[in-house]
Amino acid sequence: MPSLKNIAFAALGPISAVLAQNQTMQVQVGAEQNTPGGIFQFIPNTLTASNGSVITFVFSGIPGNHSVTQSTPAAPCTAFEGGFDSGWVEILANSSSPLPTWELTITDDSKPLWFFCKQHIPAPHCNAGMVGGINLDKGTLSLSAFANTAKTAVLDAHEGGLVGLGASASAAPDIEGGATLFMTASATAGPQTAASAAGGSSAGSAASAAGSGTGTGSASTTTTTTSGETPSRAVGIGAMVLGTLMMALSGWL
């Protein structure tokens, strides 16, 4: 007959497994002029994340103006209807404030998720290789193939929302002084035109901000990472609960 201690540990097992899945990861949005790969990139550009994991996008390109917008393999540079979208986040060159962040929680890890930057000044960032993917091992398309299609894809930068297919955010990007969030834009860059929406000139300035910079980038190098992961708040709380239960069990059994 199993001992009470074995039964208790068996009961705690599933709790530990669930807590272990709730991880946080960071993705750098935009880079510096001298960064290998150029300005227009997500670092890393691929991740593997289980349900409940939180991906924190850090808008770190200074100056910069970027977005994290869901798309599909069929249209890499088109905002997915019903997909997640951070909006344009502009950081000025003289900004010294904390970097803006945006948290995206994985809700369905059974299929790949694709995203891109919908900024189009001075040229579409998506065409330059600013694309990324999550859980690509659940599909057959590689990031390099996705990025190659994006090179000649037409940009459609209409506004998305916080809740997407397979992932969602609970709030808009966390913005402090020295950065600005624009959810809509109405500006033209060569043959590409951002979708017009209420917001007028102030929204147009988002798409034409100097933070967009110049240069080219490439997403041909795929890097799957869990480096830099730190336990989420849920994991910390769970660890305390487990510790308390273990102390109680050791005294009781």
- Within this chain, do residues 95 and 17 fall inside the same structural domain, yes or no? no
- Min mean pLDDT across 10-14, 146-150, 218-222 is at 218-222
Identify the CATH number of the domain in which residue 186 sits.
Answer: 2.60.40.420
- Within this chain, do residues 210 and 249 fall inside the same structural domain, yes or no? no
Peptide bond between residue 122 and the one before it cis (omega within 30 degrees of 0): yes
Q: DSSP characters for 33-87?
A: TTSTT-SS-EESSEE---TT-EEEEEE--SSEEE--EEEBTTBTTBPPTT-BB--
- Within this chain, do residues 3 and 34 fall inside the same structural domain, yes or no? no
- Within this chain, do residues 71 and 184 fall inside the same structural domain, yes or no? yes
Give the whole-angstrom CA distance, residue 44 versus residue 126: 15
- Within this chain, do residues 158 and 120 fall inside the same structural domain, yes or no? yes
- Within this chain, do residues 72 and 172 fall inside the same structural domain, yes or no? yes
Strands (E), 152-208: 167-168, 179-182, 188-189, 192-193
- Within this chain, do residues 125 and 182 fall inside the same structural domain, yes or no? yes
Give the whole-angstrom CA distance, residue 24 versus residue 53: 6
Coil, helix or strand at residue 225 = strand
Is the pTM value of this prediction over 0.75? Answer: no
Q: What is the DSSP letter of 139?
A: S
Report percent pLDDT > 90 for the chain: 47
| Contact yes or no for 115/147 (Cβ under 8 A) | no
Average pLDDT of the segment spanning 66-94 = 94
- Within this chain, do residues 17 and 138 fall inside the same structural domain, yes or no? no
| Contact yes or no for 137/225 (Cβ under 8 A) | no
Q: How many domains does the chain have?
A: 2
- Within this chain, do residues 247 and 220 fall inside the same structural domain, yes or no? no
- Within this chain, do residues 122 and 132 fall inside the same structural domain, yes or no? yes
Average pLDDT of the segment spanning 47-70 = 94
> What is the per-residue pLDDT for 126?
98
More confident residue, 30 or 218: 30
**Enclosing domain of residue 242:** 1-22+232-253
> What is the per-residue pLDDT for 167?
97
Residue 195 confidence (pLDDT) above 60 = no
- Within this chain, do residues 47 and 3 fall inside the same structural domain, yes or no? no
- Within this chain, do residues 111 and 180 fall inside the same structural domain, yes or no? yes
Mean pLDDT across the chain, nearest whole number?
73
